[in-house]
């Protein structure tokens, strides 16, 4: 612990502020979840005289599933690109796999590190780690060269990679 009284006081205040923020956040989340539970319960109770118990539960359950599916649809749909990448480059496909592929091609080193962080790579096999890291570094160097040489050559190599991938599938 630091010797300065001022530093100790500042450290205590910072810890107290962080704990207060976390406590407030947890309280707000608990209130939000409790409010949603009470709202669903109230809807079920309000619909019970009209539809009966099973009908009211079915309607509230289906409405919750509808809201959940709408939420996930909005979270997973492809967004229009903010930057102009060229209208004729073929990036307008809305496929999530194609957008993930482009993201990995644009950021290969970050994709390899994210794969390690998410546990996609085998953690106990050092050969697999070194192989994936070498591949990631090679892709990073290639991406750097593509940015230096221009997007035209990069688009040609990307088309060749896509053609090779489609033939192997």
- pLDDT tens string, the chain, 169 residues long: the values are 556 888 888 888 889 999 998 999 999 999 988 998 999 999 999 999 999 989 999 999 999 899 888 888 888 877 666 654 444 444 555 677 777 778 778 877 777 777 766 665 456 667 766 766 777 677 777 777 776 776 555 555 565 565 555 555 4
Per-residue tokens: 68: 């959940």
Q: What is the pTM of this model?
A: 0.38
Residues belonging to the chain:
169
- The per-residue pLDDT for 43 is 92
- The per-residue pLDDT for 88 is 46
Least Cα distance to 116 among 96, 136, 100 occurs for: 136
Number of other CB atoms surrounding residue 112 within 10 Å: 22
Angle between helices 108-118 and 126-149 (to 10 degrees): 160
- Each as own residue / partner, the long-range contacts of residues 118-127 (CB below 8 Å, 24 or more positions apart, any chain) are none
- The per-residue pLDDT for 86 is 47
């Amino acid at each position: 612990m630091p010797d300065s009284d001022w530093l100790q006081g500042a450290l205590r205040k910072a810890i107290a502020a962080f704990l207060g923020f976390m406590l407030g956040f947890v309280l707000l989340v608990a209130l939000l979840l409790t409010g949603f539970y009470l709202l669903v319960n109230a809807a079920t109770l309000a619909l019970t005289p009209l539809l009966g118990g099973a009908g009211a539960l079915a309607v509230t359950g289906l409405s919750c599933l509808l809201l959940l599916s709408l939420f996930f649809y909005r979270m997973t749909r492809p967004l229009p690109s903010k930057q102009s990448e060229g209208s004729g480059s073929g990036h307008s496909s809305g496929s999530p796999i194609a957008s993930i592929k482009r993201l990995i091609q644009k950021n290969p080193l970050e994709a390899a590190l994210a794969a390690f962080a998410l546990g996609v790579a085998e953690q106990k096999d050092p050969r697999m780690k070194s192989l994936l890291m070498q591949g990631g570094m090679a892709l990073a160097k290639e991406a750097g060269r593509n940015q230096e040489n221009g997007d035209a050559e990069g688009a040609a190599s990307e088309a060749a990679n896509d053609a090779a991938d489609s033939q192997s599938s």
